[in-house]
Amino acid sequence: MQSELDPVLAARLKRDDDGLVAAVVQQHDTGEVLMLAWMDDEALHRTLTTGLATYWSRSRQMLWVKGETSGHHQRVRSVALDCDGDAVLVRVDQEGPACHTGSRTCFDDGRLLDPVTGHADG
């Protein structure tokens, strides 16, 4: 499918081998990180032009609008491209839970990883 994404923006994107960029999704007013998703050019185009967060499902191999079936839409407030062009920050107003498990965020299940906190000797 040919995307109508602005060619200037498209030229700045550094996609992975599958033509995707990572989309970090954040609640616009609290800064809470809600989820990580993937976008192809068309998903980014639709996100920018409809105001509804649209992603590429790697498992289903198709575009999906967040909340299309659950009603838990993400209304887009802003989108920013990172310095390398390989990720976007999508700031949204989340309606209901963001995670498919029903949690507010995909990072909400309490499984924290122990960080390495090494200290230099001497």
- Each residue's pLDDT, cut to its tens digit, for the chain (122 residues) gives 578 999 999 999 999 999 999 999 999 999 999 999 999 999 999 999 999 999 999 999 999 999 999 999 999 999 999 999 999 999 999 999 999 889 999 987 667 777 777 665 54
Q: Indicate the domain borders of the chain.
A: 7-94
* Per-residue model confidence (pLDDT) at position 55: 98
Asked whether 22 and 85 are in contact (CB, 8 A), the reply is no
Give the integer Cα–Cα distance in Å for 55 and 44: 7
> Taking the alpha carbons of 32, 18, 58, 3 in that order, is the dihedral positive or negative?
positive
Residue type present at position 60: R
Q: What distance in Å separates the CA atoms of residue 5 and residue 56, rounded to the nearest whole number?
A: 15
Fold designation for 7-94: Ubiquitin-like (UB roll) (3.10.20)
- Torsion of the alpha carbons at 44, 49, 53 and 56, rounded to the nearest 10: -30
Tell me the two tokens of residue 71: 């009603």
Q: What is the Cα–Cα distance from 83 to 14, expressed in whole angstroms?
A: 10
Burial class from Cβ neighbours inside 10 Å (0-12, 13-18, 19+) for residue 15 reads middle
CA 115 to chain centre: 24
Indicate the SS3 state at residue 35.
Answer: strand
pLDDT of 120 reads: 59
